[in-house]
Amino acid sequence: MASEAISAKAGYHHGDLVAALISQARELVAANGADHVSMREVAAKIGVSPSAVYHHFPDKDALLGALGRTIFEELADEQEAASKAIPGKSATATRKRFRAIGVAYFSFAKSNPNLFRLCFGPLCAMGKFDEKANSRAWQLLVSGLEEMSAIGAVDPAVRPNAEILVWAAIHGSSMLVLDGLLPEEAIHLVLDSIEVALQGAAPVTKLKTVNRVAKK
């Protein structure tokens, strides 16, 4: 997967170096971690001079940054696939689909720890919040929550901040599991807790006795 570098390396001119570089970098980062990857190694494995890289990326951080943005899309791909794998508008289908999105997030982190760390590391500091607010991953989460809302699984009182809570909890548990600070089951416990939290413990009868949801 994710290997564009089919262009024949005819000789002096490599067909699509930039894609090959990212693809190769992906492999090395996945294997050795972002810190222990060298431009020279990337170039060498492609069969190109080290300096060639600098005609496509200003420096190392730029290469890893570009890779990171790629990974971000990959993550969204997997979440989307997991979501689409569970069709239907029934309540249970909606619940399962919602959970599947979260599980996909964690699974990706767990099976690609180095890549996951890269794209959430300082090298990929995206412009700012708003740029990413309409990223695919975010939209997926939003629509997932909307569906949950539609089947009455989300207390209106917690709805406004739900996306943030959910993302934070899933991202946090994924990270902490990677760090070995939480056991692997944590992700399921977190997802359980989230569902409870969303519906405010009262499945249907939604009481409005919440004291402070947004202070602002």
CB of 142 to a second copy, least distance (A): 14
For DNA, the closer of residues 15 and 172 by Cβ is: 15
Q: x/- string (CB under 8 A) for a second copy, residues 130-159?
A: --x----------------------x-xx-
Query: How many residues belong to the site for a second copy (CB under 8 A)?
Result: 60
Angle between helices 186-199 and 159-178 (to 10 degrees): 170
3-class secondary-structure state, position 21: helix
CA–CA separation, 82 vs 137, rounded Å?
12
Query: Which CB, 33 or 96, lies closer to DNA?
Result: 33
The answer to the question of residue 58 lying near DNA (CB under 7 A) is yes
Site string for a second copy, 95-124 (x = CB under 8 A): ------------------x---x--xxx-x
CA nearest 174: which of 105, 124, 100? 105
Q: Which of residues 19-58 bind a second copy (CB under 8 A)?
A: 33, 35
The amino acid that residue 196 corresponds to is V
**Phi, psi dihedrals of residue 59, rounded to the nearest 5°:** -160, 180
CB of residue 209 vs DNA: minimum separation in angstroms?
56
Tell me how far apart the alpha carbons of residues 99 and 153 are, in angstroms, rounded to a whole number.
Answer: 13
How far is CA 15 from its chain centroid? 30
List interacting residues with DNA (CB under 7 A): 10-14, 17, 37-41, 43, 47-52, 54-56, 58-61
